[in-house]
Amino acid sequence: MFVEGVFLKVKLAFEKFLPGLSENSIVQGRTIMAINLYVTSTQNFSGKSAVCLTLMDRMRKDGYRVGYLKPFSSAARVLAESSVDEDARFIKETFHLSEPLELLAPVVVTGQRMRKILTEDNGDYRSTVKQAAETIGQDKDIVVMEGSDNFREGYIVKLSLNEVANLVDAKVITVVGYQNSLQVIDDTLTALTRLGERLIGVIINAVPENRLGYVHQSVLPYVQAQGVDVLAVLPYEQTLHSIAISKIVEVLGGELLCGDCLEELVENLLVGAMNVENALNYFRAVKNKAVIVGGDRPDIQLAALETSTKVLILTGNIRPNPVVEAKAEERGVAIMLSPYDTLTTIEKVEQFFGRSGFHEAEKVTRFALLLNQSLNFDQLYQRLGLPKVQAANS
């Protein structure tokens, strides 16, 4: 029910943000064969999935028939209970795609498949992807293809970046996540070197506010002079790097004591390991946070509840005392019981901050707003060779 609710909220958010044109528009001179757009990234967690989601929604609203394909998926992005890619599942449910998941993500490298590749077959899955692309492309104007996590993946199954792009004759957009001033240039030029004429542009994502001027005034002119078209520059936003309470529950395997709080987003993580005299000022300095604290420290727990806290994570699997539990309920703060000690709990939760997906409605809506404000879709459609949309009643 929670997952279905997320899909519905994402759909409603898109409809509110981008009123649909599809019912009152037609595409003049539809292409016989679908155009393949391959969205890649130079590193993990750059915002590639969010770009795919936003592009698909905007294109559909602009009257185009849009398909989706994720040619290659590594085990790190696969649901634990099955060999189904999580991103493909989310896209399918969000847009109510008719194709089965096995077609949308045809090559999922699980541990079992890896063993088979190493011992039994030659790991050549190009024909599988090519057939999937042709099937999905039927009666479509464009197929948005989501690349793997970085430029290094896919070689073991002959589905590296260039092999896929050449196999399906795709035009490519690369998402470059900003880390520092040198890296953003090197990653952009790496995309150009690797892809050549197939690269129609890059999207530079998550640029800190104090580096936006540098990127616009120095980076863009330089990389454009090298032959790279920068399609959009998106600022860093804390909300987009937050983590849902549901994800923390999943990571810790803990017990959650709250009502309807699974979709709440946590932007910061603090550890309550100080004396109570210093705790209040420490907690007040950070908003929208999760606080990891020993289950036997009700004084620190109560101090955290006096500030902007989304969830208390009590370590050692110790239940809160009635005073803490009542205060949390009054303030609308979730309480989670972690079965681990404090250090282990910190290590497990920290690894997901800034590295979680875009499967929450609030993140999807915010990213869509940023990309639609920054990207010139008319120019993109022209670069892709998509025919213009004309109102049916004009």
For residues 73 and 86, what is the distance between their CA atoms, to the nearest angstrom? 9
How far, in Å, are 150, 269, 295, 314, 343 from residue 273 at the CA level? 37, 13, 11, 12, 11
Contact residues for 373 (Cβ-Cβ < 8 A; gap 6+): none
Residue 1: pLDDT over 80? no
The band of 109, judged by pLDDT with boundaries at 50, 70 and 90, is: confident
So where are the chain's domains? 6-240+357-389, 243-350
For residues 54 and 47, what is the distance between their CA atoms, to the nearest angstrom? 11
Which tens digits make up the pLDDT trace of 280-313? 899 999 998 999 999 999 999 999 999 999 999 9
Query: What's the token pair of residue 55?
Result: 């592009």
pLDDT of residue 12: 55
The band of 392, judged by pLDDT with boundaries at 50, 70 and 90, is: very low
The band of 9, judged by pLDDT with boundaries at 50, 70 and 90, is: low
Helix or strand (DSSP H, E) at 43: none
The band of 120, judged by pLDDT with boundaries at 50, 70 and 90, is: confident
**Which of residues 332 and 28 earns the better pLDDT score?**
332
Q: Which of 11-15, 215-219, 222-226, 367-371 has the least mean pLDDT?
A: 11-15
Query: What's the token pair of residue 280?
Result: 């209040």
Query: What's the token pair of residue 342?
Result: 């404090």
Query: What's the token pair of residue 311?
Result: 């969830």
Which tens digits make up the pLDDT trace of 176-205? 999 999 999 999 999 999 999 999 999 999
Which tens digits make up the pLDDT trace of 226-261? 999 999 999 998 888 888 888 888 889 989 887 667
Q: Which of 51-55, 110-114, 219-223, 343-347 has the least mean pLDDT?
A: 110-114
pLDDT of residue 300: 94
Query: CATH homologous superfamily of domain 6-240+357-389?
Result: P-loop containing nucleotide triphosphate hydrolases (3.40.50.300)
Helix or strand (DSSP H, E) at 50: helix 48-61
Q: Which one-letter DSSP state was computed for residue 218?
A: I
The band of 78, judged by pLDDT with boundaries at 50, 70 and 90, is: very low
pLDDT of residue 48: 93
A 10 A CB-CB count for 104 gives: 23
Phi, psi of 46 (to 5 degrees): -95, -15
The band of 8, judged by pLDDT with boundaries at 50, 70 and 90, is: low
The two beta strands, 255-257 and 334-337, are antiparallel
Q: Which of 32-46, 231-245, 351-365 has the least mean pLDDT?
A: 351-365
Question: Which has the closest alpha carbon to 273: 288, 290, 292, 248?
Answer: 292
CATH (one of 3.40.1390.20, 2.40.50.140, 3.40.50.2000, 3.90.1010.10) for 243-350: 3.40.1390.20
Question: Which has the closest alpha carbon to 252: 290, 304, 309?
Answer: 290
Q: What is the mean pLDDT of the chain?
A: 86
Residue 117: pLDDT over 60? yes
Query: What's the token pair of residue 363?
Result: 């993140």
Question: Which has the closest alpha carbon to 254: 313, 209, 308, 175?
Answer: 313
pLDDT of residue 326: 92
